[in-house]
Amino acid sequence: MMETEKLSEISIESEMKKSYLDYAMSVIIGRALPDVRDGLKPVHRRSLFAMRELKNDWNKPYKKSARIVGDVIGKYHPHGDTAVYDTIVRMAQNFSLRYPLIDGQGNFGSIDGDPPAAMRYTEVRMMRLAHQMLEDLDKETVEFVPNYDESLTEPTVLPSKFPNLLVNGSSGIAVGMATNIPPHNLTEITEAIKALIDNPDLTIQEIMKFVPGPDLPTAGIIYGTNGIYDAYNTGRGIFRMRGRVAIEKNKSTQWESIIITELPYQVNKAKLIENTAQLIKDKQIEGIKFVRDESDRQGMRIVLGLKKDFIAEVVINQLYKHTRLE
Q: Known catalytic residues?
A: 121
Q: Strands of 46-110 (E only): list them.
A: 63-64, 102-105
Please classify residue 288 by burial: count the beta carbons closer than 10 Å to its beta carbon, then call 0-12 exposed, 13-18 middle and 19+ buried.
Answer: buried
Answer whether 189's CB lies under 8 Å from 159's CB: no
Cα separation, 175 vs 211, whole angstroms: 31
Which among 172, 182, 149, 183 has a CA at the least distance from the CA of 31?
Answer: 172
Largest CA distance in the chain: 98
Angle between helices 81-90 and 42-53 (to 10 degrees): 80
Q: What angle do CA 167, 229, 35 make, to 5 degrees?
A: 35
Residues 6+ apart with CB under 8 A from 287: 306, 307, 310, 311, 314, 315, 318
